[in-house]
Amino acid sequence: MCYNGHKRTHALKFQSLITLDGVLFHVDGPVEARLHDLTLYCWTNMDAKLQRTFQSEGRDICANADSAFLLRAWLKIAFGGVASLEQSKYNTAMSALRASVEWGFKDGKTILGHLDFRWKQKVQEVPVGKLFLVSCFLWNIRCCLYGSPTATFFSCLEPTLDESLADE
């Protein structure tokens, strides 16, 4: 059930967002890795969570996602098909922003190295899901204390530890 044919490995999958300050936000999972990202998005009711979160802020904010997701007022994706010149420029600009947000996932695996230690992360031998969730919590604390490359790229102040722990 956990085999992911795209990555050719057994795995669990999580879904989350990374805010501009590098903090992991709305972490959901684990589920079997064979599921498509959009299926996980629907199962975790992420659409309603994002709508509620972004509309409660009282301003026009949204998340950027790759083309696997649906276009919503609170979720922006790249233009597909034959794009006009303006749409191509938009796709190029947004691609750079989406790539910079991916740094948070990469850095989390680098700093919390046990997450990338594949042959020790056996689903039936260790609590892989719990280890990942605890690692996300530790990553968020680290972002509060030391900042993150994502926050530097977007010129964001890191949240205080008190703010972050109040939200957890």
Cα end-to-end span (Å), the chain: 30
Residue 167 lies in a domain: no
pLDDT digits over 53-102, tens only?
777 656 667 788 877 788 887 888 888 788 889 988 988 888 877 777 77
Residue 160 lies in a domain: no
State residue 115's pLDDT score.
Answer: 60
pLDDT digits over 124-155, tens only?
666 777 888 888 888 888 888 988 888 888 88
* pTM reported for the whole predicted model: 0.75
Range of the domain at 107: 3-154
Q: Give dist(CA 122, CA 119) in Å, integer.
A: 7
6 pLDDT above the threshold of 60? yes
State residue 75's pLDDT score.
Answer: 80
Closest to 99 measured CA to CA, from 136, 50, 55, 150: 150
pLDDT digits over 14-50, tens only?
788 888 888 888 888 787 777 778 888 888 888 888 8
Residue type, 110: T
Pairing of strands 3-4, 75-76: unpaired
69, two tokens:
């997701």
Residue 161 lies in a domain: no
| Sign of the alpha-carbon torsion through 11, 17, 153, 161 | negative
Closest to 49 measured CA to CA, from 67, 63, 32, 60: 63
Residue 166 lies in a domain: no
> What's the domain count of the chain?
1
Residue 39 lies in a domain: yes
